[in-house]
Amino acid sequence: MGSYRFILSGGGTGGHIYPAIAIANELKRRYPDAEFLFVGAKDRMEMEKVPQAGYKIEGLWITGIQRKLTLKNVLFPIKLISSLMKANSIVSKFKPHAVIGTGGFASGPLLKMATVKGIPCVLQEQNSFAGITNKLLKDKVAKICVAYDGMEKFFPKDKIVKTGNPVRSDLVELKATKSEALDYFELKENKKTLLVLGGSLGARRINELIAEHLAYFEELGLQVIWQCGKGYYETYKLHQSNNIKVHAFLNTMDKAYVAADFIISRAGAGAVSELCLVGKPTFYIPSPVVAEDHQTMNALSLVGHNAAIMIREKELNENFKSEFEAVFASPEKQAELSRNSKALALPNATADICNEIEKLLK
């Protein structure tokens, strides 16, 4: 058998791109001679992130359907036909042995064409509420790797394998010690640390919440590592002090996680999978503007196991302080949240997904 060829498709957000890169890295480790091609949407972030990770990518001219009548929607059928034709030509030329879709619009046309040609396809669904692209492809693919229980309401039961979501390999074993991590952020060892994460782009409402509560955190004796996002950095860097460290972006997530005693975060699928592994008491504030409100579903699946606290954006004003204090004041509650979230972590997800892909190659 010559070397294998794999196509990976997914994108639009880090939540779809990151798992695809993790899966490619693991397949490359197993098959050093394999060839890889990524397929994404032309003007989205995958066109930059995938080459940075060392892989080739081709872009399709595709966008999602907007919920209201816009020029984009009028163009949608044309874009779809153009994408299907380009996907067909990519698959015919590259002749992959397997195709992996991690969600996002570009994976639709590509996996559709691959299944038509009888190439084995694997879907990876990160969220507890399945995305529209994956739901459309469910009957034609060979396997669907999921991260949550109860996914048979979206997918055929016999195709589902619960693997979890790929997480960054440096997070599976956090190597820094607490004092090294605090030292790195120039923080003190005798204070508790709150880590604030709004996702790679930042989150407006979370940033406002933190700015409003800086004096309150000071009263509690907390120090803060605040990742506010590139677009918000100019506004919030003025709050930088001995106890408040404001960052546009955190390149050393592993150290940030080790330094933290408490975490406030959005509830994207990737973040939730990482934070279960990290096992620190976490307050999720789901983004209310994502498709199918899947961040709320992700957070609720942890709340149901008593593994996290969720506060909706619209309830922050009245509930944030009381929810935060209840955990802050109770070492028992902190230990319980940590224990339960770690119990839900699936640290071998990437390897388990690649095992499913390998079975299809045989």
User: Binding site: which residues?
Assistant: 13-15, 127, 168, 200, 295
Long-range residue pairs from 23-27, CB within 8 A, at least 24 positions apart, any chain: 23/100, 23/102, 23/124, 23/166, 23/350, 23/353, 23/354, 23/357, 24/53, 24/55, 25/53, 25/169, 25/350, 26/350, 26/351, 26/353, 26/354, 27/354, 27/357
**Residues 6 or more apart in contact with residue 180 via CB below 8 angstroms:** 255, 258
Is 123 within 8 Å of 138 (Cβ atoms)?
yes
Distance CA 232, CA 239 (A): 12
Cα(268)–Cα(102) distance, integer angstroms: 14
Q: Residue 138: CB partners within 8 Å, gap ≥ 6?
A: 123, 144, 154, 155, 156, 159
Cβ-count burial of 175 within 10 angstroms (0-12 exposed, 13-18 middle, 19+ buried)?
A: exposed
Q: Which residues make up each annotated binding site for UDP-N-acetyl-alpha-D-glucosamine?
A: 13-15, 127, 168, 200, 295
262 touches 328 (CB < 8 A): yes
